[in-house]
């Protein structure tokens, strides 16, 4: 295999590959590679900031570098369906780069067609747009820029919590509409202090959110497969709740910070939502498919969920008739939390670094691997 041996940390994170898995080697041999990037189109906004790298026009800022090395770099926003631009390049591409904000859905069917494909890179965090089991079975490597937008997403979650707790949006809409009705806002505006906030998942983003919440003097809970480092847990003042349902029943605010996997898809269905406090506020910047779409709508309509905010939908981009656009007490946006300019600079640099390592036949940072040698990272198993 052209890649060097995995570092010891990676070896501990991934089990030994199955002998039934064929691994497509990440070649370090000379010769041009075909790299396809799928990014959203920015139109007139593309030229407004030289650091706006995450759009199709600026394409992570790596075109000149790739082409100087003799590689072909195809960039398109057109990603869905059999007649899409992406589909035309599936049979002969070597590397596919996508983002969680405009994901190229890499199905088992596409993987089967992609005879030359070796590497799937996510410019950002979250690779659930890839059929990971199919990628593992095909021996592909899937990697992302771990940590690149942790701060961006955690800050956005804190903002959304405050928007919901303080009933901010109705007041903002009053100003736009020329109205002035303090009572229409104040009757359901609260302080964050003293509220119980629970995060479902306490990885990098969940832990950072809890740290950001500490100064607000909240009661902080978390549910995760791993217990936090005791010293950090003590510093934050957070408590592990091993029973998710028990934690949910205690929370005034629930934040979703778990990856989308087979186990978490549709996790928050009608039955799970019924276990939440009446009047709960939910923030979800993880993945839209973790929620049962209609169950969320019904709970918002009934008032069981008093407010729902997030930037993740399924599918993405969300169709114009997606019911979350029209449910009451929502503070939804397009998928923007992890694509601040600061985050774009980080995930563009991280993507370039992994491409450079790929060309040289070197390992990636161990924490970046999502699929390697036929094995999924622990959080996706």
What confidence score (pLDDT) does residue 24 get?
Answer: 58
Catalytic residue, candidates 223, 335, 346, 357: 335
Say which CATH architecture domain 149-332 belongs to: 3-Layer(aba) Sandwich (3.40)
Number of other residues whose CB lies within 10 A of the CB of residue 53: 25
d(CA 128, CA 245): 25
**Known catalytic membership, residue 225:** no
Query: For residue 29, what pLDDT is reported?
Result: 53
Q: Kindly report each contact of residues 168-171 with a partner whose C-beta sits within 8 Å and lies 24 or more positions away, as own/partner.
A: 168/331, 169/331
Identify whether 4 is a catalytic site residue.
no
> 129 CB contacts (<8 Å, ≥6 apart)?
98, 100, 103, 104, 105, 106, 122
| CATH for 34-146+340-380, options being 1.10.3720.10, 3.90.190.20, 1.10.10.60, 3.40.50.720 | 3.40.50.720
pLDDT tens digits, 144-184: 999 999 999 999 999 999 999 999 999 999 999 999 999 99
State the catalytic residue, choosing from 287, 322, 346, 357. 287
- Could you confirm whether 149 is annotated as catalytic? yes
Burial letters for 251-262: b for 16+ Cβ neighbours within 10 Å, e otherwise? bbbbbbbbbbbe
- Tell whether residue 128 is among the known ligand binding residues: no
pLDDT tens sequence across 242-295:
999 999 999 999 999 999 999 999 999 999 999 999 999 999 999 999 999 999
Residue ranges in the chain whose pLDDT is less than 70:
1-30
Measured over the CA atoms of residue 9, residue 343, residue 292 and residue 207, the dihedral's sign is positive
Residue by residue, what is the 3-state secondary structure of 156-185? HHHHHHHHHHCCHHHHHHHHHHCCCCCHHH
For the chain, domain boundaries: 34-146+340-380, 149-332
Helix, strand, coil percentages, rounded to 5, for the chain: 40, 15, 45
Check the annotation: does 236 bind a ligand.
no
Structure tokens at 349: 């640099």
Question: Which residue is catalytic, options 58, 118, 149, 330?
Answer: 149
Closest CA to 307 of 214, 139, 185, 178: 185
Q: Is 320 annotated in some ligand binding site?
A: no
- Report the pLDDT value the prediction gives residue 22, as an integer from 0 to 100: 52
Say if residue 333 carries a ligand binding annotation.
Answer: no
State residue 31's pLDDT score.
85
């Amino acid at each position: 295999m052209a890649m060097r041996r995995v570092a010891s940390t990676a070896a501990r994170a991934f089990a030994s590959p199955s002998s039934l898995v064929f691994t497509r080697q990440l070649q370090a041999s000379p010769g041009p590679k075909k790299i396809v990037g799928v990014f959203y189109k920015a139109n007139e906004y593309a030229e407004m900031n030289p650091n706006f790298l995450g759009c199709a026009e600026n394409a992570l800022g790596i075109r000149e570098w790739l082409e100087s090395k003799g590689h072909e770099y195809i960039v398109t926003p057109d990603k869905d369906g059999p007649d899409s631009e992406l589909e035309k390049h599936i049979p002969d591409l070597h590397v596919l780069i996508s983002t969680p904000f405009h994901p190229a859905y890499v199905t088992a069917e596409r993987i089967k067609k992609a005879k030359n494909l070796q590497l799937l890179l996510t410019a950002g965090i979250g690779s659930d747009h890839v059929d990971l089991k199919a990628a593992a079975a095909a021996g592909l490597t899937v990697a992302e820029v771990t940590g690149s937008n942790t701060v961006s997403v955690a800050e956005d979650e804190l903002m959304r919590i405050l928007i919901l707790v303080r009933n901010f949006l109705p007041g903002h809409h009053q100003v736009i509409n020329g109205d002035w009705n303090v009572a229409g806002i104040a009757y359901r505006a609260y302080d964050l202090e003293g509220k119980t906030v629970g995060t479902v998942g306490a990885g990098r983003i969940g832990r950072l959110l809890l740290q950001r919440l500490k100064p607000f003097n909240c009661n902080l809970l978390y549910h995760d497969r791993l217990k936090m480092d005791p010293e950090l847990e003590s510093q934050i003042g957070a408590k592990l709740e091993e029973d998710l349902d028990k934690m949910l029943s205690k929370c005034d605010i629930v934040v979703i910070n778990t990856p989308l996997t087979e186990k978490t898809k549709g996790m928050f269905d009608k039955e799970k939502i019924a276990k939440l406090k009446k009047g709960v506020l939910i923030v979800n910047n993880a993945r839209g498919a973790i929620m049962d779409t209609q169950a969320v709508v019904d709970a918002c309509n009934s008032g069981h969920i008093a407010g729902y905010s997030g930037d993740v939908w399924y599918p993405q981009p969300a169709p114009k008739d997606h019911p979350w656009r029209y449910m009451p007490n929502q503070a939804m946006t397009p998928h923007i939390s992890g694509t601040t300019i600061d985050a774009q600079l980080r995930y563009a640099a991280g993507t370039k670094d992994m491409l450079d390592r790929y060309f040289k036949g070197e390992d990636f940072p161990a924490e970046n691997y999502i699929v390697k040698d036929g094995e999924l990272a622990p959080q996706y198993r």
